[in-house]
Structure 1
Amino acid sequence: MSAATLSEGDWIRGISIRQPYAACILDGAKTVENRLGRWRTGWVLLHTSKTVDRPALRVPLIGRTIRDRELVTGAVVGIARIADCHQDPEGAPLCSQWALPGVWHLVLADVQELPLPVPARGQVVPWKPAPDLLERVFQQLPGFQP
């Protein structure tokens, strides 16, 4: 894909995730993001919400994962590919230690962290990034090929 088609933004969406969960995704430990609704597969910008889930910082699994990581908020911090979106059958084991019952599980793959966060506004629902935001993100990922 050329740089011209990258800037159009029709092939990628944004997903806003609270900290410290976004840091766990960037670390590679958290490969499942929980959502109330179904999402389509494909590429997403990983955006951090402006708020931090402070009680989650005391969860041992999260604490071990984010040790020494800065919890950037209000910025695009990486990209990932939603490889699958599913709900685990009722009563079945969850697909991941990060998965919650009764919600949709976005299975994340090909996570790439940006060297520098790009300040941006996000939304809870999938959002279409502006061309200038995409340009600032992909300047930091010159070898990216969707």
Structure 2
Amino acid sequence: MKGLTVKQPWAWAIINGGKLIENRKQVWRYRGPLAIHAGRTWSDRGAASDLVHAAWGQHGPNGGVQAGLLQQHWFTQGSVIGVVDLVDCHVAHGCCAPWGESGEGRITHLVLENPRPVAPIPCSGALGLWTVPEYVMQRLSIAGVV
């Protein structure tokens, strides 16, 4: 299985908040189960996102928050937090609203389905797609998400 490291709070939004598009800059051939690793880096842009705020208000453990008040310590970092199915990857062309971005340069959309949260599994992430370590695979199997 492959893994993808995503900055928080975007990773939370993928697994818990209905974010089924991940914006990247390369096209990947891989399709199948994808472990979502919550990276150790925080995204201020994600924390300020109206979409993340709306998702947090509906699904977050602390309920709604006012703009700018998402707290980094509310989010797991440095762990696999769930699995999704990567079903498509295409160059952005004004599609996949509201989570899909378009703009300057080459942006691609990873189309995700079937998010399955798990209790956090600490591990190191990496840039791009990476192979999930065996001990993480065992825990995901025990959790019944792969």
TM (norm. structure 2) is: 0.80
Partner of 1:26: 15
Question: Counterparts of 2:113 and 2:17 in 1: how far apart (Å)?
Answer: 9
Question: Counterparts of 1:29 and 1:53 in 2: how far apart (Å)?
Answer: 18
On the 8 A contact 2:15/2:116 being kept in 1, the answer is yes
Is 1:123 the counterpart of 2:126? The answer is: yes
Deviations 1:13-34 (A, max 9, x none): 0000111111111124211001
Which stretch of the first structure deviates more once superposed, 123-132 or 64-73? 64-73
Partner of 2:3: 14
Partner of 2:84: 80
Question: Counterparts of 2:82 and 2:37 in 1: how far apart (Å)?
Answer: 7
Per-residue deviation at 1:71?
A: 1.2
Identity of counterpart residues, as a percentage?
25
Per-residue deviation at 1:94?
A: 2.2
On the 8 A contact 2:15/2:84 being kept in 1, the answer is no
Partner of 2:71: none
Question: Counterparts of 1:137 and 1:32 in 2: how far apart (Å)?
Answer: 22
Question: Counterparts of 2:26 and 2:92 in 1: how far apart (Å)?
Answer: 13
On the 8 A contact 2:92/2:101 being kept in 1, the answer is no
On the 8 A contact 1:17/1:47 being kept in 2, the answer is yes
On the 8 A contact 1:28/1:111 being kept in 2, the answer is no
Query: What is the alpha-carbon root mean square deviation over aligned residues?
Result: 1.6
Question: Counterparts of 1:109 and 1:28 in 2: how far apart (Å)?
Answer: 12
TM (norm. structure 1) is: 0.80
Is 1:35 the counterpart of 2:24? The answer is: yes
Paired residue type of 1:133? V
Divergent runs of 4+, >4 A: none
Partner of 1:5: none
Paired residue type of 1:120? C
Deviations 1:39-85 (A, max 9, x none): 22111111010011124212222112124343110000000110100
Q: What are structure 1's unaligned runs of at least 5 residues?
A: 1-11
